[in-house]
Chains A and B, each alone.
Chain A
Amino acid sequence: MTSTPTATLDEAMHTWITVVQLLSAAADRGFAQADTAPAIHSLALGAQLAACGALALVPDNLEVDDGPPQAGEVADLVAAAEGLTRRHPIDAFPVGASGVVVAICDLVREGSS
């Protein structure tokens, strides 16, 4: 893997943490909505699994909070997370990010169809 300037890495990690927050928010919203619309549960679970996969790539010494309140439906939040992953080249994100990005893209497809 090529070396990446520290500033870029920090920005990329900051973006990555926002991705975790958006996916977690999508999951929590979906779980709440599934009480009346069970079909959404699978997408919410997918968001939760992707969030856990993304969080696993964040170093333990970095604190991840709940982030600001997010508006929008589950699919919107997942799409927003996917949009954030395009802000930086894939090699600026932590090693293993490509698998999570692919999982998020799959979720976008599941949510939009």
Chain B
Amino acid sequence: MSLHEPDVDERSVGELLMHADLTCRQVLADPDAGNARALMRTWGEMVEASVDLWNRIPGDQKDPVMSRIGAAATALHRSQIKAGWPGAGDTDDRLSHAGDTLCRAAELVASRRPTFTPVSGVVSADVDAARTRLMHTLYVGTHGVGVALRDYMTKAGGHLDSKQRLPPGESLKQARHAFQRLGAVEDLARGYLNVRWPAALCGEYRDPPSSTRIDRALAQWDVQAHRSLAGTPTTANLLLVAVIQRDVAVAGQFLTQAAARTHAIDADQHASRLATPLADVEASWANLGRHLQQLTPRGDRRIDPALLLAGNELRASLREITHHGGAVATPDVMAQRTDLATASRSIQASTGTAVELGHVLREVVQDPNVTVSAKGAHALATDQTGRHPVQAWIDAADLHHNRDVPLPQVVRETLTGAIDHTLSANMTANSAGTFLEQSTPQQIAAAASMTGRRQQDRTPLALAVNTPGYGCER
């Protein structure tokens, strides 16, 4: 995660809180004993920023927990000044950044805080979520500092045992005191979170999904799939391409069905032309995926990290529209989340790019230099030719050691056939979806009812079909 921000910070309070939370998780995920004193120097600032933001968030503050944490941090700071530990020196960049982020959030809240106290139910839920998120940030950050301090004490104890003294500026006694006091703060934060985390986060206000996210994710996926297959054409990468393409097809069916039911697209055209071809697309990718699953043992499914990243983003972009928890969202809910006509067109366009991707897959499979694991090739070849084939497809020694072997012909033919099926299915679906580019009867009727000229009057005259265009052969 980058610690740098754009010049103009346009993030909302919720986004800032989330960023601070993730930054503190980094502190916890990578505690460093060598950095313990820097963390201790910075922890107080983060608590101060948390207390400031807490006090600025509107609504009743019946629970005085944050005041107690603030008081504990101030007392610890005083003790540390007296003891001269951790002393002057560097601060921790991550914790300092989390504190700065919370300060920015506090400024935003202060500039927008309403002058009246009562808040609506929705705002109240958002406020509760913000307090819970803030307390979690503090809890995780404090725990991270505590873990680093514990490691510091272990190392300092070892050093003291072996050399009977500590380097100047180090103190095991002060570290122990600080550790105990951090533990008390952690207990306070945990007590607050026990009854709220993560349930209270459900009330967190979220911006609606970006309308261009699917398009962007599809484009990124398409580019990355081409790059990965050109660079590392392994069966694991082929498998991921097949299952992601199937997911696009599954989501495409959900989206177009919802679009038809909410009249965002022509329901009759969808039922008669598009529904079946899209189902065929999904079935064809599923078939290819099954073959590639057999060909790729679970332990061999090491994926190009960039492809994994693009796949994760595409899945998330589709899922935030099509799903609600573990189930498929209702058409009305999907319609509230995005423009279903635009999303349907994106899916239709993706069947066009899938044709190109299918050709790349075909080239990979046809490449005589492509190798696969012997076990995987044996599993698929056996499945295709039966348990007792006349000819052994895989050498017994290769199978025993699971060496990489050239693609056996029967496996190549099976995969080529499956890819050809995906190609034809995608081309059919792409052609069948051309009606999505046209206006629905409802849209035409709405346009006709507008004041001014009717839609057909505003439409430029089309050239006659049999008239050759400029520069064309006559």
Contacts and interface: CB of A to CB of B under 8 A. Distances in A.
B293 A31 contact: yes
Contacts of B32: 1
Contacts of B315: 42, 45-46, 49
B256 to A, nearest CB: 13
Nearest to A20: B298
A113 B298 contact: no
Contacts of A41: 246-247, 250
Interface residues of B, number: 43
Contacts, number: 101
B243 A2 contact: no
Contacts of A31: 243, 246, 286, 289-290, 293
Contacts of A51: 298, 301
A66 interface: yes
A14 to B, nearest CB: 14
Interface residues of A, number: 39
B402 to A, nearest CB: 9
Contact of B299 (A28, A49, A65): A65
A21 B298 CA distance: 7
A81 interface: no
A104 to B, nearest CB: 13
Nearest to A67: B298
Interface string A23-65: 0110010010011001101111110110111011000000111
A42 B318 CA distance: 9
Given A21-B298, A34-B286, A66-B299, A42 B250 contact: yes
Given A31-B293, A45-B243, A45-B247, A55 B299 contact: yes
A98 B298 contact: no
B240 interface: yes
Interface stretch (B304-312, B341-349, B455-463): B304-312
Interface in B330-360: none
A56 B29 contact: no
Please report whether the interface of chain B is mostly helix, strand, loop or mixed according to DSSP: helix
A109 to B, nearest CB: 8
A64 B254 CA distance: 36
A63 B365 CA distance: 26
A111 B319 CA distance: 13
Given A1-B32, A31-B293, A49-B311, A24 B298 contact: yes
Contacts of B302: 52, 55-56
A56 B298 contact: no
B83 interface: no
A26 B246 CA distance: 17
13 contacts: A38-B253, A42-B318, A42-B322, A45-B247, A45-B311, A52-B236, A65-B299, A90-B28, A90-B29, A91-B31, A98-B29, A110-B325, A113-B326
Please list the 7 inter-chain residue pairs (A to B) with the smallest Cβ-Cβ separation, ordered nearest first: A113-B325, A64-B299, A24-B298, A52-B303, A98-B29, A2-B151, A41-B250
Given A56-B308, A91-B31, 4 more contacts: A38-B282, A42-B247, A64-B298, A109-B325
Interface of B: 25, 28-33, 151, 154, 236, 240, 243-244, 246-247, 250-251, 253-254, 282, 286, 289-290, 293, 297-299, 301-303, 305, 308, 311-312, 315, 318-319, 322-323, 325-328
